[in-house]
Amino acid sequence: MIERCLGAQRSRKFHRALRQCKVTALCLVLTVVVLRGIIGAGEFGTPEKDFYEIRNRLYFPSRKRGGDPHRVLEERRTTSSSFATHDRNHNKNNYDEFNVKMFMEDNGEDDEKPDPNEPYSRGPKISNWDAQRAQWLNENPDFANFINKKPRVLLVTGSSPKACENPVGDHYLLKSIKNKIDYCRVHGLEIFYSTALLDAEMAGFWAKLPLIRNLLLGHPEVEFLWWMDSDAMFTDMTFEVPWERYKDYNLVMHGWNEMVYDQKNWIGLNTGSFLLRNCQWSLDILDAWAPMGPKGKVRDDAGKKLTKELKDRPAFEADDQSAMVYSLATERDKWGDKVYLESEYYLHVNWAILVDRYEEMIEKYRPGLGDHRWPLVTHFVGCKPCAKFGDNLAERCLRQMDRAFTFGDNQILRTYGFTHKSLASGRVKRVRNETRNPLEVKDKVRLLSPPYKAVKVIRNLVCFHNVVQISHRLMVKRW
Amino acid sequence: MIERCLGAQRSRKFHRALRQCKVTALCLVLTVVVLRGIIGAGEFGTPEKDFYEIRNRLYFPSRKRGGDPHRVLEERRTTSSSFATHDRNHNKNNYDEFNVKMFMEDNGEDDEKPDPNEPYSRGPKISNWDAQRAQWLNENPDFANFINKKPRVLLVTGSSPKACENPVGDHYLLKSIKNKIDYCRVHGLEIFYSTALLDAEMAGFWAKLPLIRNLLLGHPEVEFLWWMDSDAMFTDMTFEVPWERYKDYNLVMHGWNEMVYDQKNWIGLNTGSFLLRNCQWSLDILDAWAPMGPKGKVRDDAGKKLTKELKDRPAFEADDQSAMVYSLATERDKWGDKVYLESEYYLHVNWAILVDRYEEMIEKYRPGLGDHRWPLVTHFVGCKPCAKFGDNLAERCLRQMDRAFTFGDNQILRTYGFTHKSLASGRVKRVRNETRNPLEVKDKVRLLSPPYKAVKVIRNLVCFHNVVQISHRLMVKRW
């Protein structure tokens, strides 16, 4: 009886224990699984992956995700990294980009797969551009390439047709173009913002080449084209480029002759902000510049060659900057006499060496200097705000891009009587009381109507109504 | 002995059970807590909240979150909703915005809390602006307010100084300004993009008023200021505003006299895209327009009045559009004769009525018509891409904004020989083979150098070098 009783107790105990174990095990499994989930979704593990899965579920529920990593990396090259000059800490970034892109959504379009047997073509060679352009300028006197001795300039920049992987990236692209709009309005420059990849072959750092070629040919009235990366910002709104200094030159980049021609150093110049004259010579150097660009084997092999030939260049696929250094260093006789390497002011400067000094600049100096005392263009080399993630560099980048933007924006706002509360603040405050005679104040500033923007016009030149009709008729015909 | 044995067994059983229960309970609690977390992080529950918590942890680890809902909603009004005309399905959106904003990060700055006892001031009344401006224009002949009979126009738009709550929102702001840059380049308009809230009192729909006033006073050379919301895009790149039609008018909005003056309908006109002449009359109407703007009690009480007085207006705080309808309807004698309500072409059109018809338009019509056949401006009323979330409307909005952008962009790309692969595609393809004589093609188009942009200039008007010196000296003095 006692044994039976003990036996029955044992079996009850056993079953109860079993039941409890089942619940416990189930709970443990659930907990581990779900913990893995939440850990992935932000702070540790693979934040990009989970972050984008959440983002995609929220905003692109219809879109496919994932896909063949290689194919996706190809796509990465053809989209978000377009228009950005290659950064310096490349190896690290490449992995980041790969990891990020691995988990990006696929927009469902096929990548263009060029025929590897077909040689890359940049279209028919144009050899008499100077004559064609001169004739056009002669026939269109109202679209002069010089106004008040100042060349007509088109500032060209751009970004990917897709939203940034980094959700705050597009906000910085927006700030960057607002900043360029301000400088260009003040200095009378026109702007072309590109979101199109005109040649899938020339993706990434190389996307600017076909774009620039098309714009030179499309705008004979433009004397100088000013390429600027999307991660470069104007930090001196007053400084005017010394155009007269370049009257005998066709290509102006920030750099140093010794570093390019003697050392063949791959950072002897920078292609993130440069001036290119609209002429045959420029079409020719674009042709000489482009051959290392086609993505895949051509670009990879060229990269090895450039790393071998250039000083301090890390090993990676060919980039436009290294190719330019190489072309100039190896063919100085052919190009050198028309290339001006500018180092008197900052047509470009790497952000890392001066962004902490903005307060000191404000205290000691004034806008209009353009050099280390008040840099014309601050270039956020290596930041890739559109692609990179919340690591330390990216965080510092974003904070400093905000400071640079505000530093430039204050120069604009002051002309209207406002300023940001601090370089870290989006809020603004009055620095000048309103007056009944606003124009008396304004005359001192001249950023609102700067003399170098003056255009003496002959009124009543064109009957406006006819013009619209003409333009409309032409558009219909063209279409 | 048996009893002792049974007693010992009971106590062992009890302790074992207790231990297992502890583990089970712990597991259950953990599971529930963590499940609650992951459920929040995307698909159900409160996606915004968890989404932003993740985003903030990733990108703004230093930032505080949350805060008093009321205070935060105030901040919402003072930031992201700035510069957007009030949308139609307001009640719904307000809840969305509130929910979204509830969980937005706080950038750590205090809101400006105006003294409710102090009456709102718009600064000293200016009564002789026409005389001041005429004198300035006379003294600055190189900054004529008319060029070739065409008024000098400044297009003004803007967005919040902060990143959008919706991570893809800034991408659409970027597309929107690229679209405006294109139209303005083609038509010779200048652009001012504002990211500053000049008057904390006049936040939200009202932010444009102090901005416009400051720009009119800052730019006497500007004849017409063209305000455009950030959610409006140019969809006819050829259409030129019939400026001559407005030579006797100071304010041009899309609308209908009957709806405004007879019906007092709050959507009888739209303030998302309008033209305002730079003159004393405009400063006066801004003064008459502004009093309902100050946020808080003034704006709320005015809202009740507007809802009572205007046809079909839902109940919500006073908005700039309703206030304009009310001013015109109640003071037609004072303003009516200088206000032109345009309905022959779309200075603005609500996207909902035509975005599905772009393919039909391409098939049947041509750019340059500006009306229902090829709308000049498509306004994404109610979309709020910067603020809204992945509900059905928002998803349709984003898809249609992409289509509108591409529809406009194709008109630009075609002039360079390219077009998008489809209205849904960011990719482009050639539509014209490259030629050795690009200018022969171009002459037919005239979007590259449109006749209404022609400026006959007198060369060598200013010695450039001196100008820089002058400008620099003036800047130093000003600073």
Tens of pLDDT, residues A260-307: 999 999 999 999 999 999 999 999 999 999 999 999 999 999 999 999
For the segment B431-452, the average pLDDT, to the nearest whole number, is 72
Q: How far is CA B235 from CA B144, B316, B346, B349, in A?
A: 29, 31, 10, 11
B287 in contact with chain A, both atoms CB, cutoff 8 A: no
Nearest chain A CA: its distance from B43 CA (Å): 7
Interface with chain B: mutation pick from A22, A57, A148, highest number of B CBs within 10 Å:
A148
Nearest residue of A to residue B21 by CA position? A20
Render pLDDT for B84-102 as a digit per residue (tens, 0 to 9). 554 433 333 332 332 222 2
Residue B191 in this model has a pLDDT that exceeds 90: yes
Q: Using pLDDT thresholds of 50, 70 and 90, give the confidence band for residue A25.
A: low
> Looking at residue B23, what is its pLDDT?
54
Q: Which among A85-99, B107-121, B342-356, B453-467 has the top mean pLDDT?
A: B342-356
Query: In a 3-state reduction of DSSP, which class is residue B238?
Result: coil
Neighbour count for residue A437 (Cβ, 10 Å): 13
Q: Are B365 and B236 in contact (CB under 8 A)?
A: no
> Looking at residue A421, what is its pLDDT?
96
Helix or strand (DSSP H, E) at B473:
helix B464-478
B441 in contact with chain A, both atoms CB, cutoff 8 A: no
Q: Which of A70-84, B133-147, B280-294 has the lowest mean pLDDT?
A: A70-84
A214 vs B71, higher pLDDT = A214
Nearest chain B CA: its distance from A428 CA (Å): 6
> Looking at residue A438, what is its pLDDT?
86
> Looking at residue B472, what is its pLDDT?
33
> Looking at residue A167, what is its pLDDT?
85
Q: Which of A306, A459, A385 is nearest to B152 (CA)?
A: A459
Stretch 31-50 of chain B: residues touching chain A, C-beta under 8 Å:
31, 34-35, 37-38, 41-43, 47
Q: Using pLDDT thresholds of 50, 70 and 90, give the confidence band for residue A310.
A: very high
Q: Using pLDDT thresholds of 50, 70 and 90, give the confidence band for residue B149.
A: confident
Give the type of residue at A38.
I
Q: Give the tokens for residue B396.
A: 């349709």
Give the type of residue at A54.
I
Starting at the earlier edge strand, list the strands of the sheet with B269-277.
B190-194, B153-158, B224-228, B269-277, B251-255, B339-342
Three-state DSSP string of A387-433: CCCCCHHHHHHHHHHHHHHHHHHHHHHHHCCEEECCCCCCCEEECCC
Residue A401 in this model has a pLDDT that exceeds 70: yes
Tell me B106's DSSP state. Answer: E
Q: Where are the alpha helices (DSSP H) in B271-354?
A: 280-289, 297-309, 320-330, 332-335
Is A407 exposed, middle or buried, given 0-12, 13-18 or 19+ CB atoms closer than 10 A?
A: buried
Q: Using pLDDT thresholds of 50, 70 and 90, give the confidence band for residue B452.
A: low
Render pLDDT for A279-291 as a digit per residue (tens, 0 to 9). 999 999 999 999 9
Q: Using pLDDT thresholds of 50, 70 and 90, give the confidence band for residue B110.
A: very low
- Give ∠ CA B390-B391-B394 in degrees, rounded to 5: 75
Yes or no, beta carbons of A195 and B178 under 8 Å apart: yes
Interface with chain A: mutation pick from B18, B146, B363, B471, highest number of A CBs within 10 Å:
B471
Nearest residue of B to residue A123 by CA position? B434
Residue A464 in this model has a pLDDT that exceeds 80: no
The shortest CB-CB distance from B149 to any of A238, A439, A460 is to A460
Give the type of residue at A388.
K
Percent of chain A with pLDDT over 70: 65
| DSSP sequence for B341-386 | EE-SS-SSEEGGGTGGGHHHHHHH--TT-BSTTSBSEEE-TTT-TT
Nearest residue of B to residue A245 by CA position? B465
Residue B444 in this model has a pLDDT that exceeds 80: no
Strand partners, A254: A270, A342
Render pLDDT for A339-371 as a digit per residue (tens, 0 to 9). 999 999 999 999 998 999 999 999 999 999 999
- Please tell me the distance from the alpha carbon of residue B190 to that of residue A186, in angstroms, as a whole number: 10
Q: At what angle do helices B2-40 and B47-59 cross, to 10 degrees?
A: 80
Q: At what angle do helices B129-139 and B280-289 cross, to 10 degrees?
A: 140
Q: Using pLDDT thresholds of 50, 70 and 90, give the confidence band for residue A434.
A: confident
| CB within 8 Å of A108: residues ≥ 6 apart | A63, A64
The shortest CB-CB distance from B34 to any of A16, A38, A197 is to A38
Q: How far is CA B103 from CA A54, A89, B264, B265, in A?
A: 17, 36, 38, 36
> Looking at residue B438, what is its pLDDT?
86
- Please tell me the distance from the alpha carbon of residue A19 to that of residue A11, in angstroms, as a whole number: 12
Q: Which of A83, A368, A87 is nearest to A227 (CA)?
A: A83
A144 in contact with chain B, both atoms CB, cutoff 8 A: yes
Interface with chain A: mutation pick from B166, B170, B414, highest number of A CBs within 10 Å:
B170
A7 in contact with chain B, both atoms CB, cutoff 8 A: no
Q: In angstroms, how far is the first alpha carbon of chain B from the final one? A: 101
Render pLDDT for A241-259 as a digit per residue (tens, 0 to 9). 999 999 999 999 999 999 9
> Looking at residue A394, what is its pLDDT?
82
> Which ipTM was obtained for this model?
0.76
Query: In a 3-state reduction of DSSP, which class is residue A147?
Result: strand
Q: Are B448 and B238 in contact (CB under 8 A)?
A: no
Q: Which of A400-404, A454-458, B386-390 has the lowest mean pLDDT?
A: A454-458
Query: In a 3-state reduction of DSSP, which class is residue B47?
Result: helix
> Looking at residue A45, what is its pLDDT?
28
> Looking at residue B311, what is its pLDDT?
97
B97 vs B279, higher pLDDT = B279
Q: Using pLDDT thresholds of 50, 70 and 90, give the confidence band for residue A10.
A: low
**This prediction's pTM:** 0.76
Query: In a 3-state reduction of DSSP, which class is residue A476?
Result: helix
Q: How far is CA A362 from CA A178, A357, B145, B212, in A?
A: 22, 9, 35, 29
Neighbour count for residue B406 (Cβ, 10 Å): 24
Render pLDDT for B226-271 as a digit per residue (tens, 0 to 9). 999 999 999 999 999 999 999 999 999 999 999 999 999 999 999 9
Residue A24 in this model has a pLDDT that exceeds 60: no
- Please tell me the distance from the alpha carbon of residue A85 to that of residue A92, in angstroms, as a whole number: 16
